[in-house]
Structure 1
Amino acid sequence: MSSRSDRNIETRKKKKRRTLARPKQTRVQGNTSGVRARLRKQSLLRAGRGEAAAAQ
């Protein structure tokens, strides 16, 4: 089991401090079938087609 050296710890801290603050993701990213189904359901509900169309 390797332990992280002090130098590596400092490097990780510096890298973390330098990263840009990005906004949180507002929707699921990805192209899997589960994600696509969820996005489709959201879009149908948003379009006002109700639960019946979303269940298909």
Structure 2
Amino acid sequence: MRRRKVVYGIMMGVCLTLFVLAWAVVPRFSPAAAVGMSVVAAVIPPFAAVVANWGVDRTDRRGR
């Protein structure tokens, strides 16, 4: 469980960093790169949720 929380936190930190950089810094140099970074950042949260919930159903069925 702890490892999943750490991985989730890292993924969401990367997501937040990408959004901040894509909206504040990168558009000055390359608007296309900023759009690409925003798209990648928008895709990360669903995968982070899957990682955070991986194996939850298996442990619930065994009563643990």
TM over 0.5: no
| Structure possessing the higher radius of gyration over alpha carbons | 1
Q: TM-score, normalised by structure 2?
A: 0.30
Q: TM-score, normalised by structure 1?
A: 0.33
Greater RCO (Cα-Cα under 8 Å, separation 6 or more) = 2
Q: Which structure dedicates a bigger proportion of its chain to helix?
A: 2
